Amino acid sequence: MKRPGYWLIMALLLAAPLGGAAQQVDSSMVRKIRPAPREHKQVIVPEEHSASKALLWSLIPGGGQVYNRQAWKVPIIYGALAGMGYLAYNNYNNMVKFKDEYLYRRNHGEATNLEGYENYPTSNIYSLYNSYNRNFQLMVIIAVGIYALNLVDAYVFGHLFDFQIDDDLSLSIMPSLQPLPSGLHPTVGFSLTF
């Protein structure tokens, strides 16, 4: 005779393939969920600040200052260059006016060409010409100096762009021995470190 557990084991073994097939049918009917595609985050890498780029940008007056994020300097640069340009233009026109008057007097026997300067001697007209000529040259030199200062400013601040200035400053005082040049005993003093 067969044991009662035998029928139970046989029933389970026969039902196993049917349960697996039923599971396959059920899983095929269920919509497969795909994982959402990963979003690529944009990582912004800061561009390295370059002093040579600041110098190249400053070939246009004020361009290096804008590159260094110091745009407040641009009106100062253009104001100084415009002021020197105006003064150079004014001095140049007066220089030409007195040069023409001087040459006219030399070629026409002390006759005058300018109104209001009839009583001025020729030597004074020549002195006025020299004065305006010097002033014109000085204004041109100062304008070139302002332009050069624009270049130097952009280059120096391009180097110092990433320099960290911290509000936490300290001062330390330490005792120190200072040697004397004569070779005698050293002197006691204090060393200050900021």
Summarize pLDDT for 100-129 with one digit per residue, the tens.
999 998 888 878 888 888 888 989 999 999
d(CA 110, CA 13): 138
pLDDT in tens, 3-51: 656 666 666 555 555 444 444 445 555 555 566 666 766 666 567 878 8
End-to-end CA distance of the chain: 105
The alpha-carbon radius of gyration of the chain (Å, integer) is 45
The residue that leads in pLDDT, 156 or 179, is 156
Distance, in Å, from the CA atom of 74 to the CA atom of 77, rounded to the nearest integer, reads: 5
User: How does the average pLDDT of the chain come out, rounded?
Assistant: 81
| pLDDT tens-digit readout, 45-70 | 567 878 888 889 888 999 999 998 99
Give the helix/strand (H/E) hosting 174.
Answer: strand 172-178
Least confident among 72-76, 116-120, 169-173: 169-173
Residues in contact with 146: Cβ distance below 8 Å, sequence separation at least 6, in sequence order: 77, 80, 81, 84
- pLDDT number for residue 96: 95
Closest CA to 105 of 128, 133, 88: 128
